[in-house]
Structure 1
Amino acid sequence: MSNKQLAADVVIVGGGIVGAASAFFLRKRGLSVVLLERGLVGQQASGVSFANVRRQGRSLPQLPLAHRSRDIWGRLPELIGHDAEFIVTGHIRVVYDEKSVAAIEKYAADARPWGLDLEILSQAAIRKRFPFLGPDVIGGSFSPNDGHANPRLAAPAFGRAARKAGATVLENCEVVDIHKDTLDFRVSAKDGTTVTAPVALICAGAWAGKLSAAFGEPVPMETHGPIMGVTEPLPYGIVPVVGVTSSNPAEIMYFRQVKRGNIVFGGGMRGKAYLDERRAHPMPGFTLQQLPHLRRIAPALSNVHVLRTWSGVEGYFADDLPVMGPSKRVSGLYYAFGFCGHGFQTGPGVGDVMAELIDRGTTTIDLEPNSIHRFAATSAAPKVVLANA
């Protein structure tokens, strides 16, 4: 049993890519930081993500954050000493019908003033550029500077960089109580560690709703588990990340090929996620439904063997936007969670923005659409015991 008594400028609860990046960028700004992670840094959603580093397809107001994050992804070696296997491959969205063609054309036109230039490809052009695509593909949009990374490397790399920069990063340190005294937050862990700090940042992913509720700000967050898999290695030849734009949810698929040759894929329906178990179980039936859609996009993958499937616990809101910004009830309290399956690409940028907000009191990114206040919490709960939070 630990009896550590720690104090810092900022205490962070949750060590996914958002929490780890926030710790790193806060230290770069000179603030002392203690990060508490119940398991290992990057063990939950950040470590089992599809790891798409895309801007294409994001809501338009989220593009400034996505651009800021993309810049950081491109500078990882100089910033944190590790590239997390990020590579620029381009990202293509394919379509099967004229309605979807109109949708990608409109998005491309609308995204241009937000700084995202997409190339719209006709059926002939897309077939020439990407000959692996199947005959049902009649067009697509291409974002050349997007790419992908390794989800098992990214958050831990930020965690190590934060430690090297002077942050205290405590793993296997489960928070059981968090409340604010007159001036400071006091966070207590199951192992006896306590941390006091005038600022608290909640980055606990799908579990963060219990923490926000402890401060009178409950949120209507749902939890789901995306179903993903990886195939046997094949000769490397599919460079871009590939996704589908369709009004039919069953057709939504995405996949990428890593340099080792394996195809990583996901999409379609989401499975159940269990907060108490801290896991989401893979659903073999869902994988079997995914494979025909994978073959439809790329017929050469028709007979490939699937080696492994997995899932992860993710938090979702009905408006598909995260909670990001200051508490509306408690001074010094900040949130960054519920990224609705979109948090991996934006994670480094979120960390940078939250550090800027905490340090300066403002940020160049408009966070009002992400405010927790949009859920109009009405009840206060000054102190809650958070066992298994």
Structure 2
Amino acid sequence: MDVIILGGGLMGCSAAYFLARRGIRTRLIERSAIGAAATVASFGNIRRTGRYLPQLPLAHRSLALWRDAERMLGRDVEFRATGHLRLIFDEHGHTDMRRYAAEARPWGLDIEELDATDLRRRFPGLGQDAIGASFSPEDGSANPRLVAPAFADAAARLGAEILPLTTVRSVCATKAGFAVVTSRGAFESAILLNCAGAWGAGIAAQFGEEVPLASYGPQMGVTEPLPQRILPVVGMWSREHGSYLRQVARGNIVFGGGVPRAAVAMEPGHASATPGRLAAQLRSVVQLLPALRDVTVIRQWSGCEGYIDDGLPVIGASGLQPGLFHAFGFCGHGFQLGPGVGDAMAELITTGRCETPLDPFHIARFAK
């Protein structure tokens, strides 16, 4: 068996690693630099709180791999289990948090509820107007700029061929599997794994599988370095565009959310930050950390992410084309799932089954 993977983000690179670890000949093709689209735009949040409940088994599988990432990959990708703190500012948030905590418990996720007194005692300086919070102590963050290259390099050491900066000119099914013509030549394989992110729906459509996907870019930013004071990743319970932040080892505060994402044209697929919306974003971020009122923002960025209409990714085997598999459209929530998705796809491709339930994410849900 041999596999061609289209897409060199976290999903594609982790799949390449886990396939190569199973002894499968693997070639990964990426149109840009490794991890340069949705992965590099990611906030780096490794959270389970707030996920679609049937997604939690995959999130648990992935968290176990994050914990083992440094040993597995041979380098530090800055995974830190600092906890995920989610602030509550109104009664809607209180209701939503308690309902989710109760529903998530049978799925293996225990969320601690903090009242306002607990919050200020344990996490001083955060959310002066918050009336409470949820806390998931085993979650945390990692560095989005390090992790996809780390998986790609580890896959290459196991024999996978990694082809960045390679344009795909055509993809088609053959009697033996698939033929992919690229700017570096033509390749054939028995299996094709579509991890093309925001471009994944276009690949699926070539095989008769239509997925309602749009591309958007998050508004991300980082401040000047500050004294170390914030340990967990911080977000909020919000029915709108909730903001989030975390402090990195150097002291900078990385932040996002608070404003709608901007639409991104698929070609060339480069998402740009929109400085005109920074003031509105910072008003939301300051709710989480009032001390940011007097801090300088030193950089903004964005990236191209794929969003499916129902808010869920496509994961699993094609419903129409034998040998074709999909893992795309993670709707801005895929970073935590990345290693688990790669491992699950490697298991599914090599054994025909997966111990983690994937049925809710099958592409057949869009079949006419």
* Short-chain TM bin: over 0.9
Give, in angstroms, the shift of residue 55 of structure 1: 1.0
Verify: 1:48 aligned to 2:41, yes or no: yes
Verify: 1:93 aligned to 2:86, yes or no: yes
Q: Where do 5+ consecutive residues of structure 2 fail to align?
A: none
What is the TM-score with the length of structure 1 in the denominator? Answer: 0.93
In structure 2, which of residues 250, 261, 273 is the aligned counterpart of residue 260 of structure 1?
A: 250
In structure 2, which of residues 173, 183, 190 is the aligned counterpart of residue 180 of structure 1?
A: 173
Verify: 1:35 aligned to 2:28, yes or no: yes
Amino acid at match of 1:360: T
1:113 maps to 106
Structure 1 CA distance for aligned equivalents of residues 263 and 5 of structure 2? 27
Per-residue CA deviations over 1:295-345 (Å, capped at 9, x if unaligned) read 122111111100011111000112111000011111000000000001111
2:341 maps to 350
SS of the residue 2:264 aligns to: strand
Give, in angstroms, the shift of residue 52 of structure 1: 0.4
Per-residue CA deviations over 1:48-101 (Å, capped at 9, x if unaligned) read 210101111111100000010000000012211122111111001101112211
Amino acid at match of 2:167: E
Verify: 1:14 aligned to 2:7, yes or no: yes
Give the alignment of 1:154-165 within 5 angstroms. 154-165=147-158
Give, in angstroms, the shift of residue 172 of structure 1: 1.2
Give, in angstroms, the shift of residue 134 of structure 1: 2.9
Give the alignment of 1:292-371 within 5 angstroms. 292-371=283-362
Per-residue CA deviations over 1:171-213 (Å, capped at 9, x if unaligned) read 111111111111220111023x211111100000001111111
Structure 2 CA distance for aligned equivalents of residues 319 and 184 of structure 1? 31
Give the alignment of 1:87-236 within 5 angstroms. 87-191=80-184, 193-236=185-228
Alignment check: 8 A CA contact 1:272 1:281 kept: no
Report the RMSD for the aligned CA atoms in angstroms.
1.0
What is the TM-score with the length of structure 2 in the denominator? Answer: 0.98
Verify: 1:79 aligned to 2:72, yes or no: yes
Structure 2 CA distance for aligned equivalents of residues 24 and 152 of structure 1? 17
Alignment check: 8 A CA contact 2:216 2:304 kept: yes
Identity of counterpart residues, as a percentage? Answer: 50
Runs of 4+ aligned structure 1 residues displaced above 3 Å come to none
Structure 2 CA distance for aligned equivalents of residues 253 and 221 of structure 1? 24
SS of the residue 2:200 aligns to: helix
Matched residues, number: 367
SS of the residue 1:308 aligns to: strand
SS of the residue 2:306 aligns to: strand
Q: Where do 5+ consecutive residues of structure 1 fail to align?
A: 1-7, 378-389
Structure 2 CA distance for aligned equivalents of residues 31 and 170 of structure 1? 17
